[in-house]
A and B are shown apart, each in its own frame.
Chain A
Amino acid sequence: MVNLNSVPPKNGQCYLALGLEGSANKLGVGIIKHPFLSKHENSDLSHYCEMEILSNIRDTYVTPPGEGFLPRDTARHHRNWVVRLVRRALQEANVSDPSQLDTICFTKGPGMGAPLHSVVILARTLSIMWDVPLVGVNHCVGHIEMGREITKAENPVVLYVSGGNTQVIAYSENCYRIFGETLDIAIGNCLDRFARTLKIPNEPSPGFNIEQLAKKSLNKQDLVELPYTVKGMDLSMSGILGYVDSLAKDLFNKNTKNKILFDPKTGEQLVTVEDICYSLQENLFAMLVEITERAMAHVNSNQVLIVGGVGCNVRLQEMMATMCRDRSNGQVHATDERFCIDNGVMIAQAGLLQFRMGNVVKDLSETVVTQKFRTDEVYVAWRE
């Protein structure tokens, strides 16, 4: 059993936590509340904290179509917006005295170095100004704990799919263990980069725009054949990206020698951009479903929790649900864009669990951010 009440809240009634996220192009500030309940003293209820979201503010650094986000400019965005966002978050949460916060949680890693650095500087400053302890949070664990709390999934296999990460995770002995992962680029990165090739807008997100294009495909029964690269429990996506990129370029250049895209006799176009988007999604998601199912068999679980930005893709949720239905009434848990996409609340949730177990920063030297910080490096003290 775990005692989540080992550190009492400042006001004796509820815990208040501020979360700061800025590991990529989203800057998020969130404030949450956990009631101080006796049922959390001797139990395993870290997924049932009765969390209340007081504010969840986000601002995204968006680049023109065809462009990615550079670390320097993303860091500048975070640096120049973060104070304004914290002000809005406090105002929305009705927190007039920030020194009443129990903890300030920040993303320690993994992520892009420069943007992480912009945010941690503010976290340190606020901690000193308000005399509130800091907690450094693993970004991936933030996604998992947020998903568990929102969906109440007790012990699911977690599929973590975002712009920087693709992992299949299951909990065992105080650790989120990685059962399978990408060997090269993340799925979100694959979709984003293909969106850049297509020069479609990055607003609201490139992946969302690919999903919308895929829905418009009129040839859903005839998939464009793409490489399928599952390697044991791992997968690889860079080759697929290279292949679809070349298809798209041939399509734009009207290269009629390409027999997949054009009829060799008449020169008629057989495949559209929408068809390629649809086939790409189907192919990539089928790979994800396969390794997730294998992980479920390993740990004898019938629950899947999808987290990360790509997790709000409805088609991925549908395909995962089909697989789960075939496995003894399995369930898929997923959240919407408020919680799937990087946000400050998820950092506050994971950080507050750490805080309640007495895990806080004792010296500012412990707040150095890191680009590499694997999910399985975190000691999960708040679960049995």
Chain B
Amino acid sequence: MPSPFAIYKSPNSEPREFRVDPARDRYNTTNGTTTGPSAYVLQAGQVDRDKPSEPKCNEQGEFTELSILRMALTGLQDDINEYLTQQMEVAKNKKLKQDDEQRISGEINKLLDGGDDDDDDDDDQGSSSKKA
């Protein structure tokens, strides 16, 4: 049976391919590391009764084809989830950096000339209202 694989494509990044590596533990279980219950509900006292069923073996003690597929997909799902979480971190950091740069340049502009103009405007408005 051919192994499943996945390709992630996005306009902002190079395509990323995910392949099954049977030597790694994550491809030999149906209990994924990123597909468990939320930490929040466990802290609230939730007992996890929604675990996926264990992989099944045939009479020879080998995993059934469907179980092998389920384990491969569990590992792939973990890989994809970790990659996407990492991408989200990158995007978040990029945005924070942009926001910082924008803030700093705004503050510099205000100090150099923009702030003076604003103050002048305020003063003008203040004086005109006083005149009225």
Residues of A within 8 A of B (CB): 61, 63-64, 66-67, 70, 72-73, 76-77, 79-81, 84
Give the chain A neighbours of B119 by CB distance below 8 A. none
Say yes or no: A67 contacts B52, CB within 8 Å.
no
Give the chain B neighbours of A76 by CB distance below 8 A. 35-37, 50
- Interface-located stretch among B21-29, B39-47, B108-116, B121-129: B39-47
Say yes or no: B44 contacts A81, CB within 8 Å.
no
Say yes or no: B37 contacts A63, CB within 8 Å.
no
Give the chain B neighbours of A73 by CB distance below 8 A. 37-38, 41, 46, 50
Give the chain A neighbours of B38 by CB distance below 8 A. 70, 72-73
Shortest CB distance B123–A (Å): 46
Give the chain B neighbours of A81 by CB distance below 8 A. 50
Say yes or no: A67 contacts B44, CB within 8 Å.
yes
A66 closest partner in B (C-beta): B44
Say yes or no: A80 contacts B51, CB within 8 Å.
yes
24 A-B pairs in the complex with CB atoms less than 8 angstroms apart: A63-B41, A63-B46, A64-B44, A64-B45, A64-B46, A66-B44, A67-B44, A67-B46, A70-B38, A70-B40, A70-B41, A73-B41, A73-B46, A73-B50, A76-B36, A76-B37, A76-B50, A77-B50, A80-B50, A80-B51, A80-B52, A80-B53, A81-B50, A84-B53
A70 closest partner in B (C-beta): B38
Shortest CB distance B127–A (Å): 48
Q: How far is the CA of A340 from the CA of B119 in the complex (A)?
A: 66
Shortest CB distance A117–B (Å): 14
Q: How far is the CA of A270 from the CA of B40 in the complex (A)?
A: 37
B41 closest partner in A (C-beta): A73
Give the chain A neighbours of B40 by CB distance below 8 A. 70
